[in-house]
Amino acid sequence: MCYNLKTSIGYQTNLVATTLKTSFTKLIQPRFGVAAEQFATLKIINEDSEVTQTQIAEILGKDKTTVGRSIDSLIKKGLLKRKGCFLDKRANRVYLTPKGLEVLEGANEIGHRYNEAIKSKLSDGEIEIYFKVLNTILSQSQNIELELGEK
């Protein structure tokens, strides 16, 4: 038995995710100056103004340091603003600036059109099966335990 990348669920899923992220970034970066993951960060913050950096990292499947650098970059671009938390002086919250909201709205429109273009190549049944399979893989992959003998 041999591990084969062409039949590896993990490898193929990552390849699709990377391709989608790269092509979406090519659509939004020239116009709005953000990459796909920065867009996702803006979207998460816009949907929940109380979200923490740790929660953003969990949602994106990234580590806190990477998310922190992304947030710092978005602040430098004038898309986010950091404010101290009134109740906890050690905590900081980030908020979209008017420019950030403008970028989010524009990139969101492109994201919607991009998603619809991809979905238009699939039937409703294929889309339903795709999400069902992804959800199964996601939930089951977190519970797999293997007995690995020494070789």
Residue with tokens 């650098």: 69
CATH number of 12-141: 1.10.10.10
Q: Taking a C-beta distance cutoff of 8 angstroms, is the pair 67, 57 a contact? A: yes
> What is the domain partition of the chain in residue ranges?
12-141
CA separation (Å) from 109 to 29, 101, 103, 104? 14, 12, 10, 9
Tokens 């953003």 sit at which residue? 56
User: Rounded to two decimals, what is the model's pTM?
Assistant: 0.84
Residues of the chain falling short of pLDDT 70: 84-91, 147, 149-151
* Nearest-10 crossing angle of helices 124-141, 9-32: 110
Q: What is the pLDDT of residue 49?
A: 83
